[in-house]
Chain A
Amino acid sequence: MVENTGISDIVKDENLVYQKTKVLTDKVMHYCPGCGHGTAHRLIAEVIEEMDIQAGTIGVTPVGCAVLMYNYLDIDMQEAAHGRAPAVATAIKRLMPDKYVFTYQGDGDLAAIGTAETIHACNRGENIAVFFINNGIYGMTGGQMAPTTLSGMKSSTSPYGRDVQMMGNPLKMTELVAQLPGTWYVTRQAVHTPASVRKAKKAIRQAFENQKLKKGLSLVEIVSNCNSGWKMSPVEANKWMVENMFPFYPPGDIKLEGKMVGKE
């Protein structure tokens, strides 16, 4: 461990080109190397710092890999029961309308057990931001099939690949909620390349900024890899994600300022 004094001896202010945002704590993250969660956390923290809304932001964490998110962000946070984050966030926002409120949810949380809460918070047009990490698998519990697991994709509960006849189809929750009049901004992003990270950060910023407008819910899906769950190296996982996940979950804006993209 390098002492801070030691670092400041080496890193002079004039040489400083990058540092961790103060909204992230010093706690070492538990995520697997190469996982998208760490990057997504950092982007949210950076946006909070840049908007200077640390005191004005309440986050709601899910059940899943990000269950311990409150250890990493230096803001007030609530841990919601599995799938219930949009209901929890609804109450926070209704009681403190001037605060910035976000949920951070995985695919099992948002698109399976919490489907009702997700759809109804979107449909009511709650003025919150929902960050949806889609890696097509239940990472925390050891790689079981998720609602977003691709057809043919292997998981511990679809060991021979997802048979859609037997197990149902992968669910495009993001496209689904974009249809609802209560959503204002719906986009799908990724965090696997520097360019995609920059775009994802802009989307996250937009989702926070939108809360000032009071026009409805902003949902940012981030397609991520789960290299442990997928049983690949991080590099292989990102390549597999681009080749297999992106065709079914294509990155890009789906709804901007309350209007579906590409439709007049």
Chain B
Amino acid sequence: MKELKLMKGNEAIAEAAIRAGADAYFGYPITPQSEILEYLMAEKPHERTGMVVLQAESEIAAINMVYGGAACGRKVITSSSSPGISLKQEGLSYIAGSELPCVVVNVVRGGPGLGTIQPAQSDYFQAVKGGGHGDYRLIVLAPQSVQEMADFVDLGFELAFKYRNPLMILTDGALGQMMEKVWLQEQKPRMKTFPEWATTGKTPDRERNIITSLDLDSAEQEKFNMKIQEKYRKMEAEEVRFETTDTEDAEYLLVAYGTSARICQKSVRLARDKGIKAGLLRPVTLFPFPKKILSELAGKVRGILTVEMSTGQMVEDVRLAVEGKVQVEHYGRMGGIIPSPEDIVDALGKNFLK
């Protein structure tokens, strides 16, 4: 039975992982996402579903535990925040290079370096361009509510397994710490059968399974690169997700994801109260990026303003999608400061309504 709860975004992710039938969570504490590991430990998922939860000695160990578990064909999830996600990049590259499915949650805080523990969106580049070494991509989902924090865990596993690819839920400290109503899905059973590629023990009826990202033969390595690129093109064709608000008659378009998109919804209303016909495009998948709709909308509006809690990262992808059809500007706050709905309307005015 579905269940209604008031939960923090972090807690919702943890509960959703149990209910999605996850086999394991491996993580290491870091603010502002430690509630995920705390909630899981308190909930005793081992008793509820048999799910393994382990606090690793580092983010590096945690992501390699994810690798080991995912290579056994299991549903494995980990979470961290920006500095810890940087530590996980080596493992993520290996996971992508070994074509393993997993879900990684980044509850972003302001950087660079140790930065701040307040929310930010400054890990966009790292999330959508690969992050670690080599040519690879993560599927990136950007929730904007506690409900989506929960829903995207299950969706995340589905997509990760569909493509044999790591998936990142890119969220931030604000969504992790805030409480909202959330409908939790019914408990899904854990998997009983595992993909044929998984290292579950070589039985006499099959060849041995090897999980590796190594190929010393350059021709073979190039072939592998082309194969995973094809996978990414397929994602771009089939998995783009986005939402629009008041775009039908919009003259000015805001583009924002996650927390910024929530704030922009209010900005759209405030702008319209002032007689400015604003609309909002919210990318839900940051990779694959909603290029097509952006290109279409670019032909209809007078200006586009991206709103990000960073110095402007997604704005580069927006400009690539728009191909110069319309002026694209960026408004952002950094270091853990969240822009207010009014700030965004002001920025819209300053950029386009001088």
A81 and B64 form a contact (CB under 8 A) = yes
Q: Tell me, rounded to whole Å, the shortest Cβ–Cβ distance linking B306 to chain A.
A: 35
Chain B 43-67: CB-based contact to A (< 8 A → 1; otherwise 0)? 0000000001010111011101111
Nearest residue, chain A, Cβ from B201: A55
Nearest residue, chain A, Cβ from B205: A55
Complex: A92 Cα to B127 Cα, angstroms: 27
A197 contacts B by Cβ under 8 Å: no
Chain B 188-219: CB-based contact to A (< 8 A → 1; otherwise 0)? 00000000000111111000111111100000
A76 and B210 form a contact (CB under 8 A) = yes
**Please, how many residues of chain A have a CB less than 8 angstroms from a CB on the other chain?**
34
Complex: A164 Cα to B90 Cα, angstroms: 31
With A55-B201, A76-B202 as contacts: A91 and B65 at CB distance below 8 Å: yes
With A84-B91, A95-B74, A116-B58 as contacts: A74 and B201 at CB distance below 8 Å: no
What B residues does A79 contact at CB under 8 A?
A: 98, 210-214
What B residues does A96 contact at CB under 8 A?
A: 72, 200-201
Mark out the residues of chain A between 80 and 130 whose CB falls within 8 Å of any chain B CB in the assembled complex: 80-81, 84, 87-92, 94-96, 99, 116-117, 119-120
With A55-B204, A60-B68, A81-B90 as contacts: A91 and B210 at CB distance below 8 Å: no
B60 and A84 form a contact (CB under 8 A) = yes
B76 contacts A by Cβ under 8 Å: yes
A240 contacts B by Cβ under 8 Å: no
What B residues does A57 contact at CB under 8 A?
A: 201
With A54-B202, A117-B64, A120-B57 as contacts: A91 and B211 at CB distance below 8 Å: no
A153 contacts B by Cβ under 8 Å: no
Complex: A151 Cα to B94 Cα, angstroms: 35
What A residues does B214 contact at CB under 8 A?
A: 67-68, 79
Chain A 58-69: CB-based contact to B (< 8 A → 1; otherwise 0)? 101100000110
A152 contacts B by Cβ under 8 Å: no
Q: Tell me, rounded to whole Å, the shortest Cβ–Cβ distance linking A222 to chain B.
A: 23
Q: Tell me, rounded to whole Å, the shortest Cβ–Cβ distance linking A182 to chain B.
A: 12
B212 and A75 form a contact (CB under 8 A) = no
Complex: A70 Cα to B203 Cα, angstroms: 16
With A116-B61, A117-B57, A120-B61 as contacts: A77 and B199 at CB distance below 8 Å: yes
Q: Tell me, rounded to whole Å, the shortest Cβ–Cβ distance linking A23 to chain B.
A: 9
Mark out the residues of chain A between 36 and 76 whose CB falls within 8 Å of any chain B CB in the assembled complex: 54-58, 60-61, 67-68, 70, 73-76
B52 and A95 form a contact (CB under 8 A) = yes
A77 and B210 form a contact (CB under 8 A) = yes
Q: Tell me, rounded to whole Å, the shortest Cβ–Cβ distance linking B97 to chain A.
A: 10
B69 contacts A by Cβ under 8 Å: yes
B201 and A91 form a contact (CB under 8 A) = no
B85 contacts A by Cβ under 8 Å: no
A76 and B68 form a contact (CB under 8 A) = no
Nearest residue, chain B, Cβ from A99: B201
B212 and A70 form a contact (CB under 8 A) = yes
Complex: A99 Cα to B62 Cα, angstroms: 21
Q: Tell me, rounded to whole Å, the shortest Cβ–Cβ distance linking A9 to chain B.
A: 28
A78 contacts B by Cβ under 8 Å: yes
Candidate in A76, A77, A94 with the most chain B CB atoms within 10 angstroms: A76
B307 contacts A by Cβ under 8 Å: no
Nearest residue, chain B, Cβ from A93: B68
What A residues does B26 contact at CB under 8 A?
A: 91
Complex: A116 Cα to B28 Cα, angstroms: 14
Complex: A220 Cα to B308 Cα, angstroms: 53
B24 contacts A by Cβ under 8 Å: yes
B68 and A55 form a contact (CB under 8 A) = no
Candidate in B26, B64, B94 with the most chain A CB atoms within 10 angstroms: B64
B202 and A87 form a contact (CB under 8 A) = no
Q: Tell me, rounded to whole Å, the shortest Cβ–Cβ distance linking A208 to chain B.
A: 14
Q: Tell me, rounded to whole Å, the shortest Cβ–Cβ distance linking A24 to chain B.
A: 12
A91 and B67 form a contact (CB under 8 A) = yes
B54 and A90 form a contact (CB under 8 A) = yes
Q: State which of A76, A84, A92, A119 has its C-beta within 8 Å of the C-beta of B208.
A: A76
**Interface CB pairs A-B, < 8 A, 19:** A58-B200, A70-B208, A75-B202, A77-B208, A79-B98, A79-B212, A81-B64, A87-B56, A90-B61, A91-B68, A94-B24, A95-B23, A95-B24, A95-B74, A116-B57, A116-B58, A116-B61, A117-B57, A117-B61
In the complex, given contacts A77-B208, A87-B68, A116-B60, what are 17 additional A-B residue pairs having Cβ atoms less than 8 angstroms apart?
A58-B200, A61-B212, A70-B208, A78-B67, A78-B68, A78-B199, A78-B212, A81-B90, A88-B67, A90-B65, A91-B52, A91-B65, A92-B69, A92-B72, A92-B199, A94-B52, A95-B68
A residues adjacent to B (C-beta < 8 A): 54-58, 60-61, 67-68, 70, 73-81, 84, 87-92, 94-96, 99, 116-117, 119-120
